[in-house]
């Protein structure tokens, strides 16, 4: 399996949503590369942080990746500018390569038809219902959902999102994954020792 994870980046990206996942993937030996509409083109996050893209979306190939991570962004609800990223998610899922989407990116996947037949979550069910998608019966009101190769989460659940990503890619498993989650979600001091044992 490739050890490169691709993080989609675009203007208005929600900074807080993928930091736990990407940082701990990197600490676990994965390489995180940014992918945008064009290589070497900077994007500006909601916080005003500028990120330089490593790779163009046109050059992104599922076979070169362990996972595609799609953060939320205001642009997911402001038109079709990010639709090419949802189309890339389709290519990844069709190739059997995992996709993880949080917040507004779940609406992009809904518009692409990728949530019609998969268990999923988001901010709230009526947010996705507003897209006109056909997957409402598969909506699960929980922190994060993994269905096969697809992970979804709402905007207030970056730690649960990261737990699913880290588990899916085997960065942590079993007791270590549980300890990681208890440390960062529950602030359980005992989990620190378990994680670093």
**Pair of tokens at residue 83:** 């639709």
Q: Which of 103, 105, 160, 191 is catalytic?
A: 103
Cα-only R_g, the chain? 16
Of the candidates 65, 96, 134, 132, the one whose C-alpha atom is nearest the C-alpha of residue 120 is: 134
- The single residue listed with the structure tokens 């046109």 is 58
Q: Are 145 and 151 in contact (CB under 8 A)?
A: yes
What is the Cα 47 distance to its own chain's centre?
18
Q: Are 11 and 75 in contact (CB under 8 A)?
A: yes
Q: Are 18 and 49 in contact (CB under 8 A)?
A: no
Q: Are 102 and 134 in contact (CB under 8 A)?
A: no
Distance CA 121, CA 80 (A): 21
Active site residue 179: no
Return the active site residues.
103
């Amino acid at each position: 399996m490739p050890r490169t994870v691709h993080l989609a980046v675009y203007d208005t990206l929600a900074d807080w949503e993928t930091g736990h996942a990407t940082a701990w993937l990197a600490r676990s030996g994965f390489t995180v590369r940014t992918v945008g509409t064009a290589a070497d083109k900077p994007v500006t996050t909601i916080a005003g942080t500028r990120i330089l893209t490593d790779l163009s979306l046109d050059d992104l190939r599922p076979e070169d990746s362990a996972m595609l991570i799609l953060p939320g962004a205001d642009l997911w609800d402001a038109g079709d500018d990010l639709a090419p990223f949802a189309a890339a998610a389709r290519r990844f899922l069709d190739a059997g390569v995992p996709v993880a989407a949080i917040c507004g990116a779940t609406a992009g996947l809904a518009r692409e038809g990728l949530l019609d037949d998969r268990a999923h979550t988001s901010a709230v069910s009526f947010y996705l219902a507003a897209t006109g998608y056909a997957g409402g019966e598969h909506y699960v009101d929980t922190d994060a959902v993994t269905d096969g190769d697809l992970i979804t989460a709402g905007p207030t659940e970056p730690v649960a999102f990261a737990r699913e990503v880290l588990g899916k890619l085997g960065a942590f498993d079993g007791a270590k994954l549980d300890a990681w989650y208890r440390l960062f979600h529950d602030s359980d001091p005992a989990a620190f020792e378990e994680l670093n044992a």
